[in-house]
């Protein structure tokens, strides 16, 4: 069992609410030099793992807040290669998960990219524009590593396909809470609670709700039907505005 899977499954077994914040790597006044500071802050807040976004010029799954964060990071010269180089010099207390579109990985070279991650605390990888049918473009390079490929499962995915995707999944199931892009808004949990219950019943690993999660109340409600949540736009926006108490409030 890979580190991320075991780490989060152990938390699931204790009943802990698993909160995984998303940040845009390099979206800091110090650029990538501020990354370790942000990771340390979120770890102290109680993050179970941290998802690191990679700035990209065509982020099809991201809403306005994360798009703007990506542009700020790109303006500071941040790239996937520079992020990996920075992570190779860092030690973290919790697992990191890189969220990148496939194009930046392809430009580096899949084999080279995965090889360079071996010297980091990156234990998970999310590629939102890589469908299950094309996972063989990266899985052969991950099989002998400690890096889990995390799958997203949407509300519109047919039940049989949800079961198939959940089978042998690693890390956690990223259960999309609403249709559309990421963003700060009130995802109508009462309307899609059956989605999370179904995934939880058919998955041996933690199921986390993501997209539109922006309050402690939502996280508490999602814990009733799954294991926790991924929080992105709310945290990205709060960190950018220096509203650190708002971020702490999500965890308690």
The catalytic residue positions are 51, 62
- Contact by Cβ (8 Å): 100, 55: no
């Amino acid at each position: 069992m890979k580190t991320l899977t075991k780490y989060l499954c152990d938390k699931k077994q204790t009943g802990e609410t698993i909160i995984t914040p998303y940040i845009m790597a390099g979206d800091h006044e110090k650029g990538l030099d501020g990354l370790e500071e942000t990771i340390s802050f979120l770890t102290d807040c109680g993050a179970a793992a941290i998802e690191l976004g990679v700035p990209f010029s065509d982020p099809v799954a991201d809403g306005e807040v994360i798009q703007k964060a990506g542009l700020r990071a790109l303006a500071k010269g941040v790239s996937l290669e520079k992020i990996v180089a920075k992570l190779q010099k860092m030690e973290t207390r919790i697992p990191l998960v890189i969220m990148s579109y496939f194009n930046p990985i392809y430009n580096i070279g899949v084999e080279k990219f995965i090889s360079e991650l071996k010297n980091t605390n990156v234990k998970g990888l999310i590629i939102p524009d890589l469908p299950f049918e094309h996972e063989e473009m990266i899985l052969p390079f991950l099989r002998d590593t400690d890096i889990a490929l995390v799958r997203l499962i949407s509300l519109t995915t047919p039940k049989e396909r949800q079961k198939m995707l959940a089978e042998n999944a690693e890390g956690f199931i990223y259960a999309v809470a609403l249709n559309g892009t990421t963003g700060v808004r009130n995802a109508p949990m009462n309307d899609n609670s059956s989605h999370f219950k179904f995934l939880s019943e058919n998955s041996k690993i933690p199921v986390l709700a993501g997209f539109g999660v922006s309050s402690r109340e939502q996280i508490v409600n999602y814990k009733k039907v799954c294991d926790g949540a991924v929080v992105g736009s709310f945290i990205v926006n709060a960190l950018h505005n220096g509203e650190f108490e708002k971020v702490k409030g999500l965890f308690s």
